[in-house]
Amino acid sequence: MKENVGFFLTSNFYTMIKFPNIEEGEGPILMLNMLKFRDKRIYFEEYVPAFNRVIKQLGIEGVKVALVTEVLGNIVAAEGEFWDAIAMVEYPSAEAFKSMALSEEYRTIAGPLREAALEDLKLIMTRRTGF
């Protein structure tokens, strides 16, 4: 799969992210968020509301949290790898996610709160399948 690159300037995890080349109109995507908290309260009480404000300001409709879980333990994982929570967030399209992630609004409003709340993060773009 071809990828293009963008800059996610607010992150203390990485400065460059790769976006798969998905044609506009190919339908919704689910972002798998693997979260390691620095401050869980900041994440849920400050970052999540700020994220929702950004989505609203950008006029992106159809973003919804599909699942949030607490990680109980690793069954198969790299040694020392542990995540506190997993969240699945649905976006109407890959382009909607990309426009949010690279927006000035996200960078200035929600990004600093994400940095304060999370020690580590992995994002994996997925799509529902028929099985």
Burial zone of 95 (CB within 10 Å; 0-12 exposed, 13-18 middle, 19+ buried):
middle
pLDDT for residue 24? 59
Give whichever of 5-19, 50-64, 71-85 has the largest mean pLDDT.
50-64
- What fold characterizes domain 24-126? Alpha-Beta Plaits (3.30.70)
The domain spans of the chain are 24-126
Alpha helices (H) along the chain: 40-42, 48-58, 94-101, 104-105, 111-117
pLDDT for residue 9? 43
pLDDT for residue 19? 65
DSSP 1: -
Neighbours of 104 (CB within 10 A): 11
pLDDT for residue 20? 64
State mean pLDDT over 53-69: 97
State mean pLDDT over 19-27: 66
Cβ(68)–Cβ(87) below 8 Å: yes
- Least confident piece of the model among 17-26, 33-42, 52-61, 82-91: 17-26
- Least confident piece of the model among 55-59, 78-82, 111-115: 78-82
pTM for the complete prediction? 0.82
Compute CA 14 distance to the chain's CA centroid, rounded to the nearest angstrom: 13
pLDDT (tens digit per residue) in 69-101: 999 998 998 898 999 999 999 999 998 998 999
**Structure tokens of 94?**
């890959």
